[in-house]
Structure 1
Amino acid sequence: MQVDAANSIAGQQRKAGDDDPENARWHHRPAGPVGLNPLFEWPPRPVAVFNWYRGAWLQLTALTVPFVIAVTVYFWFLPPLEDMTRFEPGWMFRIWLLNIIPQSIVAGGLHWWLYVRKGQGTKTKFDRRDLTRDNGVFTFRNQVWDNIWWTLGSAMTVATVYQWVLFWVMANGWSPVITWDSAPVWFVVWMFFIPMWSGLHFYWVHRLEHQPVLYRHVHAVHHRNVNIGPWSGISNHWFENLLYFTTYFVHLLVASNPLHLLFHVYFQQISPVMSHAGFEKIVANGTEAARSGDFFHQLHHRYFECNYGTSEIPFDKWFGTYHDGTAAATERTRKFKKQMYTR
């Protein structure tokens, strides 16, 4: 699900003669080990931390795109809270549209540019293969249609129902609601912490879903996508989405504004579209337009039992499931997977 702001020089391959036998399996990979947020390193590296967050917030990334969408929706399209004190079709239908439309525009737009028009060819594409067609593993025997169905049918339904409940609770004053005027400092601080909370929640839910029983019956739907594309981001089984979107319920306890909830919503729903794009960068007219694919998570889809979280909080490093892209990490991950499934 999500931001790898420390990927090294775009488009640079490992040098010829590198001893990693896995290199031949990649079309493109960033140079050097996959980076993690330096905020958690000791001794402190303030310049590295500044550069990490500058890269995440001052470019088109899986952070800034959801934030821009959230602000746009908040000021122009979100119904007033006072209209949501009762469950009524009008505002509930609008919330559903505010999920379906941005999701379709971002995922559909990226898919069109990268895989239909092939606007940048295979430049910065991680996996040399194309998306799968005529394969019985996927619903409708087609990877893209499978992903669209599980995204719009499953994920957007669960997310919308959860949002109905949260906005209704906020509107009735049953959760702590703040405004910019009442708590300007916390308003900004909480906005910056939402991606961290998302990463914390995602690691533990995702790790749970990799337990053999849940993986086989639930999470395997998402992992049909070894070679991922934009529509793969939240192409999840219904039960997985019931768990994945519980991250939103933190707003029942933590003082929030509807804008915080919207940013959380779009970060959770839109950022996986970008991190699963399959391309490290979006390139238009020969110029880098946005940071998209996340090699940290791409490694998870290739090797499965590693990089359960995000690069924002280094849970994987702390708990021994970090794959940094090296041959040694691949070997360690394969041993861990073998042990996991032979218990």
Structure 2
Amino acid sequence: MAQGSMTTDKKSKWYHGICGLGPNFAIFNTSPDWVDKSLPAGNTPQRLASKIDWGFLLTGKYIIYSINLVWLIMAIGVYLVFPYDYEVSKHWDAAFGEWIAVRALLNVSLVLMYYGYWHMGLYWFGWSHRPFNPNQAEAYRWSKLIHNIWYSTLGAIQWTFWEAMMLNCYATGRMPYVSDQELLDFPMRGMLHVVGWTIAVPLYREVQFYFAHRLIHIRALYTYVHSVHHRNTDIEPFSGLCMHPVEHLYYFTSMAPSLYFCTTPFAFVWNGIHLIIAPGASHSGYEDHIDSDQHHYLHHRYFECNYGTTSFPLDSLFGTFRENLSTKSKEYHGNADGVGTKTAATLDRKATLLDAPEWDQLIFNLIFCIFSPALLTLALVNGSQLTRMDCHVLTSMVVLGPMVGAMLLVLLKSWTKHSSKRHSESMLRRAFYPFHKDGIPSSILHIVLGVAMGVVPAYHLIHMTLAQPGQGFYSQVLEPSLS
């Protein structure tokens, strides 16, 4: 995730810290200022600021003085060198299919090259020297790397289909947008528009990430979806985008600003590059480089903590913040137990493609990773004139189906193991973990915001793509309310 943690020393030159670079413009072997290098990696107590530094965030300094600037340069390059083809995207035919294939190759190449750079620099060439796991060299496995690359590749391909749907909506008038020509016709307003959304997109992502992330930690969704990402208790760069395809579906809903506001397509491209590239180095497993993220490493190590990022102290607000690798955290107020070193290593070995899925996971994958996406693809390619009800049913199957299916499967599996009446209540508690011990107001808040930010945008985009022009959410709800 985007880390707005880099600040500039008033005595230093203005260019010090640009792109998050360390002293002498170092990328590797440089740690955040708060890290105590006399302690083992990950053991320095990290503190979240009690107040948000709005000046640092809203002026865009957090982009200039962090690795966000690298991703922004990448987004500008992709937008200019590989522009969207609005004419070919009007119809889901062979020409658009060819464009989608080329775009998928571009996105996959970006992910493999960027993540590969960080992985090789850290794990092959040893450009940094402080891994969070002191036994990192012994724990390195090719089967884990292949597992992570496979799921990361699926993520880049899925994002391409999100691009295709949004581009089709732009081209067919389903979704309005601010064209590049309009920006040039009104340069001052255009510049403010571009700069404003460039700043806003990563900030929205950080807030959305917390609530959408907590939602998929509900036991049912965690079991069948998010657990793939958490097979990595000792993370490495490719683990960042290593997610179950259903989690990719909910992860990419962070593109909501482009869906609910009339923005330039560049804002959408910037959002997409941020989504597929940002998780790489922050999942590095090392403390000493410009995008190190102890906060998120602890989340993978202990699971039920540090759901968000360090820019917004949401974890402190909701009692889910853990400050370092110590199993006796003074800051954490959640209900989860710590994960021991041996348990973490055992869980990490599950990151492999060699193990056969259990019967319930196989059923879930067949329905929601193959059958539902295939129906959606056929509906788009065949140009079927779906009724309004058909559009909602198919969209619900793709977006809401995994949530309902996961809940039913986890209850069914629990019932087969604990069929007595005495276990009925415990089944429900297990299904809604980790919210089963939270207060009702907190649980409702997290679930409502998690669904609103992490699920609803996927529903609206897919439905808008399936429905006839003028029948999507933007035309039916947003446009009338703005007029």
- The TM-score range, normalised by the shorter chain, is 0.7 to 0.9
Judged with a 3 Å threshold, the aligned counterparts in structure 2 of structure 1 residues 64 and 280 are, in CA distance, closer, same or farther, namely farther
CA distance in 2, matches of 1:335, 1:84: 48
Shift of 1:260: 0.8
Return the alpha-carbon distance in structure 2 between the equivalents of residues 58 and 30 of structure 1: 29
Q: Are residue 313 (structure 1) and residue 309 (structure 2) matched? A: no
1:33 to 46, 55, 58: 46
1:221 CA drift (Å): 0.9
Q: Say which of 64, 73, 76 aligns to 1:58.
A: 64
Distance 1:323 1:117, change over 3 A: same
The equivalent of 1:205 in structure 2 is 212
Deviation string 1:281-318 (CA, Å, 9 cap, x unpaired) is 43xxxxxxxx1221111121122111111222222222
Distance 2:286 2:58 in 1: 22
Contact kept? 1:3, 1:311, Cα under 8 Å: yes
Query: Which of residues 114, 118, 123 is equivalent to 2:122?
Result: 114
Match of 1:148 in 2: 149
Q: CA deviation at 1:4?
A: 5.2
Among candidates 131, 134, 141, match of residue 128 of structure 1: 134
Compare the two structures and name the one with the higher helix fraction: 2
CA–CA distance in 2 between the matches of 1:144 and 1:301?
A: 16
Deviations 1:162-185 (A, max 9, x none): 111011112223223114335421
Q: Specify the alignment match of 1:250 in structure 2.
A: 257
Among 1, 9, 12, the alignment partner of 2:36 is 12
Distance verdict in 2 for CA 1:317–1:333, change over 3 Å: closer
> Do the aligned residues in 2 keep the contact of 1:9 with 1:31 (CA within 8 Å)?
no
What is the Cα deviation at residue 35 of structure 1? 3.4
CA distance in 1, matches of 2:73, 2:164: 22
CA distance in 1, matches of 2:259, 2:58: 33
Change (3 A) 1:2 1:225: farther
- Aligned to 1:81, the other structure's residue is in SS state coil
Give yes or no for contact 1:191–1:260 (8 Å, CA) kept in 2.
yes
The verdict on how the C-alpha distance between 1:268 and 1:37 changes in structure 2, with shifts beyond 3 A counting, is farther
Deviations 1:36-72 (A, max 9, x none): 49536xxx8x5xx379964x333461x1222111100
User: Aligned residues: percent identity?
Assistant: 25
Q: 1: distance between equivalents of 2:196 and 2:213?
A: 26
Distance 1:31 1:14, change over 3 A: farther
Residue 50 to residue 234, structure 1, CA distance change in 2 (3 Å)? closer
CA contact 1:95–1:164 (8 Å) conserved in 2: no
Aligned positions, number? 307
> How far 1:109 moved relative to its partner?
1.2
CA offsets per residue over residues 165-208 of structure 1, 9 Å max, x none? 01111222322311433542122111101011111221111101
**Paired residue for 2:322?**
323
Shift, 1:92, TM fit: 1.2
How has the CA–CA distance of structure 1 residues 335 and 168 changed in structure 2, closer, same or farther, with 3 Å as cutoff? closer
DSSP 3-state at the match of 2:52: helix
Q: Note closer, same or farther for the CA distance 1:36–1:267 as it changes in structure 2 (3 Å cut).
A: farther
**1:288-299 paired onto structure 2 within 5 Å:** 291-299=290-298
Could you say if the C-alpha distance between residues 37 and 263 of structure 1 is closer, same or farther in structure 2, counting changes exceeding 3 Å?
Answer: farther
Q: Aligned equivalents of 1:39 and 1:331: distance in 2?
A: 22
Q: Which structure would you say has the larger RCO, counting Cα contacts within 8 Å and 6 or more residues apart?
A: 1
Counterpart CA distance in 1 for 2:131 and 2:58 is 25
Unmatched 5+ stretches in structure 2: 7-30, 338-432, 438-483
Q: Looking at CA atoms only, which structure, 1 or 2, has the larger radius of gyration?
A: 2
Please, which of 103, 106, 121 is the counterpart of residue 111 of structure 2? Answer: 103
CA distance in 2, matches of 1:58, 1:2: 12
- Matched-pair contact (CA < 8 Å) for 1:218–1:240: yes
Following TM superposition, by how much is the alpha carbon of 1:265 offset from its aligned partner in structure 2, in angstroms?
Answer: 0.6
Name structure 1 gaps, 5 residues minimum. 16-26, 135-140, 283-290
8 Å contact kept, 2:4–2:66: no
**Pick aligned residue for 2:97 from 89, 93, 103:** 89
Contact 1:125–1:278 at 8 Å: present in 2 too?
yes
With over 3 angstroms needed to count, the CA separation of the structure-2 counterparts of 1:143 and 1:2, relative to structure 1, is farther
The 3-state SS of whatever aligns with 2:116 is helix
Contact 1:34/1:295 (8 A) holds in 2: no
Q: Residues 107 and 157 of structure 2 are in contact (CA less than 8 Å); yes or no, is this contact kept in structure 1?
A: no
Q: Take 1:38 and 1:159, find their aligned partners in 2: how far apart are those partners?
A: 34
Is the 8 Å Cα contact of residues 4 and 35 (structure 1) preserved in structure 2? no
Counterpart in 2 of 1:18?
none
Q: Name the TM-score, length of structure 2 as normaliser.
A: 0.58
